[in-house]
Amino acid sequence: MCGRLSQYRGIHDFVAALSMPNALANSVGDGPIERYNVAPTNAVALLHLQGDRLHADPVRWGWRPHWAKDRAAPINARVEKVAHGPFFRAIWPHRAVTPIDNWFEWVDEGGSKKQPYLIRRRDGAPIFCAAIGQLPDANEGPGEHDGFVIITADSAGGMVDIHDRRPVVLTPDLAREWLDPATPKERAEQMVLYQCETPEAFDWYPVTNKVGNVKNQEPNLIEKL
């Protein structure tokens, strides 16, 4: 996963698609998010549970443990290693969902520049990416070390031609189970390893090269060429 995504629906649209009955503590805002070109290190609307309440918070995309100050903060975590490696050990229990409308990848098609592609669900529904992070505490508020990473897996099927990695995307049923603090860690690992959405759930198409500049945020960035 190259590291660029869109969040343009309102957070209430994402929550409605998730079908969670929990009361919502919303610090993202009630209107459409309207961010068509979100890059790493920026704040991204994230969903997580604290107690019996669902929280929607803007959280920095990228995280590293305190002892890894000599390296850049990763934005993704490989599903094959995330549950057992030391790097993400501190945040593996802190599960979240990154609700997005689409993500972008760049493909080398033999020209002087790589061609950006947009990837979205075929049915047009929101995409629920499995994530973990150091998350805001409802009682203490946001912390300076808050951040999150999106869990990724090997691509398969036709998506291999777009990129060799893809975000782990969960159905609404599995996303609710993933968010539930009562879900055992072992079950959470099995979900992201073996039960993510298959490439057949998605389609993709080329978009304008303007998406390569994070200053560009217009809706036409997601239009098919």
Q: How confident is the model at residue 2 (pLDDT cuts 50, 70, 90)?
A: low
Domain regions of the chain by residue span: 5-222
13/191 Cα distance (integer angstroms)? 24
* pLDDT-above-90 percentage for the chain: 84
Q: Map tokens 């036409």 to a residue.
A: 220
pLDDT tens readout for residues 46-58: 999 999 999 999 9
Q: What is the pLDDT of residue 206?
A: 96
Residue range 60-84: mean pLDDT, rounded: 94
Q: What is the pLDDT of residue 46?
A: 98
pLDDT tens readout for residues 81-123: 999 999 999 999 999 999 999 999 999 888 788 999 999 999 9
CA of 160: how far to CAs of 3, 50, 87, 117, in Å?
16, 36, 27, 13
Q: Is residue 1 scored above 70 in pLDDT?
A: no
pLDDT tens readout for residues 132-181: 999 999 888 888 899 999 999 998 877 888 888 999 999 999 999 999 99
Token pair, residue 87, equals 């790097």
> Catalytic site residues?
2, 105
Q: What is the pLDDT of residue 37?
A: 98
Q: What is the pLDDT of residue 69?
A: 85
Strand duo 53-60 + 43-50: pairing = antiparallel
- Calculate the average pLDDT of the chain: 95
What class is the 5-222 domain? alpha beta
Q: CB neighbours of 152 closer than 8 A, spacing ≥ 6?
A: 1, 76, 77, 78, 79, 165, 166, 167, 168
